[in-house]
Chain A
Amino acid sequence: MTVGGWRPARVVETRVQTPSARSIRLEAPGWPGNLAGQHVDVRLTAEDGYQAVRSYSLGSYGASETIELAVDEVPDGEVSPYLVREVRVGDELEVKGPLGQYFVWRPESAGPVQLIAGGSGVVPLLAMARAAADAGTGASVRMLYSVRNPDDAIYRDELVLTADAGVDVRWVYTRSAPPEWDGVVGRVDADVLRSSIWPADEQPAVFVCGPTGFVEHVADILVQLGHDPARVRTERFGGG
């Protein structure tokens, strides 16, 4: 269900996720609930009436009127530094949504699911992992999460919880790894994907989310590995 128009929302909780990212819970009276993977437009209005709108993925799903987004600060951005550094519990902003009918996972869809996240692209994929875990189908889900350094992982604690519910969570560190890490450190490549995601002959539904360059790099390799492009859904993040 999608509902047009702006509705007021109030910040009810913020949590530091990484040195540059924060998750924000909003109470949005009348919010009709959302599917895992959907996003929300957020509108901020300055005292002089200047408005800025940005689109953020939801880490939450389901029928609640409380929604959660996680925002990674874009240096020199117009909106994200405010949401990461300034916004306080009790602040009001406006939201529109839920938005998106393409990059969504529905509990009734059967079969293996592969989630591939780069950086803050983990947010909608966490909602999918949570939804699958809650639906009792966590074991059908694999998640590959690429971060620069261990400290950059958004939703690390939440991913551990979904792993407890059967989701197979794998990590890629592109710059530095934790001391106990015995894998390689570097960019996602064909070897990494081959060894850690559902193989193409299992016909997984694949969801890739992250910065534009990451998504295109991963999508190209997936096709080389034999994944049907029609089963690979992508979402690219901009800045701001």
Chain B
Amino acid sequence: MRAVNASTVVDGNAIAGMLLDIFGADVTALFGTCAGCASEACFAEAVVELDRQIAIVRCRSCTRTLFTVLHAQEDPRLVIGALGAIRA
């Protein structure tokens, strides 16, 4: 159970669990707007670069970082980037 800290490219579905820990709700079906390019998509559709420490969540249209989740610790922390708005 040891490995290099390789990152894989997945999507927002894969980080439902860590977002649940932060928001207390499953947010994968919410829509987020990129403040950089104004495109809107479900969190589940975002590009996610995932490794043991960090999930970098990017806009699928312009690749800007919408937010980053630091999940190495028991209490994960979300750092807001280019995420402009959220709606149901």
Interface residues of A (CB under 8 A from B): 2, 4, 39, 41, 44, 46, 50, 52-53, 55, 76-79, 82, 96-97, 99-103, 212, 233-240
A100 contacts which chain B residues (CB < 8 A)?
13, 16, 26, 28, 44
Partner of A236, one of B10, B20, B29, B42: B10
CB distance from A119 to the nearest CB of B (A): 14
Complex contact B1–A102 (CB within 8 A): no
Pick from A39, A44, A55, A79 the residue with the most CB of B within 10 Å. A55
4 additional contacts (CB under 8 A) given A99-B20, A103-B44: A100-B13, A102-B13, A102-B45, A234-B45
- Closest residue on chain B to residue A99 by CB atoms: B16
A50 and B72 alpha carbons, distance in the complex (Å): 12
| Contact A101-B3, Cβ < 8 Å, known A234-B11, A236-B13 | no
A108 and B45 alpha carbons, distance in the complex (Å): 23
A103 contacts which chain B residues (CB < 8 A)?
13, 28, 44
* B43-63, CB < 8 A from A: 43-45, 50
Complex contact B25–A238 (CB within 8 A): no
B24 contacts which chain A residues (CB < 8 A)?
4
- Closest residue on chain A to residue B74 by CB atoms: A51
CB distance from B15 to the nearest CB of A (A): 8
Tell me, yes or no, whether B87 is within 8 Å of chain A by CB. Answer: no
Complex contact B9–A236 (CB within 8 A): yes
B44 contacts which chain A residues (CB < 8 A)?
100, 102-103, 233, 235
Interface residues of B (CB under 8 A from A): 1-3, 6, 8-17, 20-21, 24-29, 42-45, 50
CB distance from A57 to the nearest CB of B (A): 9
* Total residue contacts A-B, CB cutoff 8 A: 81
Which 7 residue pairs of A and B lie closest in terms of their CB atoms, listed nearest first?
A238-B8, A102-B44, A41-B17, A99-B16, A78-B3, A101-B29, A238-B10
| Contact A50-B1, Cβ < 8 Å, known A55-B17, A97-B17, A101-B26 | yes
A39 contacts which chain B residues (CB < 8 A)?
13, 16
B15 contacts which chain A residues (CB < 8 A)?
55
- Closest residue on chain A to residue B17 by CB atoms: A41
A69 and B70 alpha carbons, distance in the complex (Å): 27
- Closest residue on chain A to residue B19 by CB atoms: A99
Complex contact A235–B16 (CB within 8 A): no
A100 and B43 alpha carbons, distance in the complex (Å): 10
A126 and B2 alpha carbons, distance in the complex (Å): 31
CB distance from B82 to the nearest CB of A (A): 21
Complex contact A102–B29 (CB within 8 A): yes
B25 contacts which chain A residues (CB < 8 A)?
2
- Closest residue on chain B to residue A79 by CB atoms: B1
B42 contacts which chain A residues (CB < 8 A)?
102
Complex contact A4–B50 (CB within 8 A): no
Complex contact A2–B20 (CB within 8 A): yes
Partner of B3, one of A4, A77, A237: A77
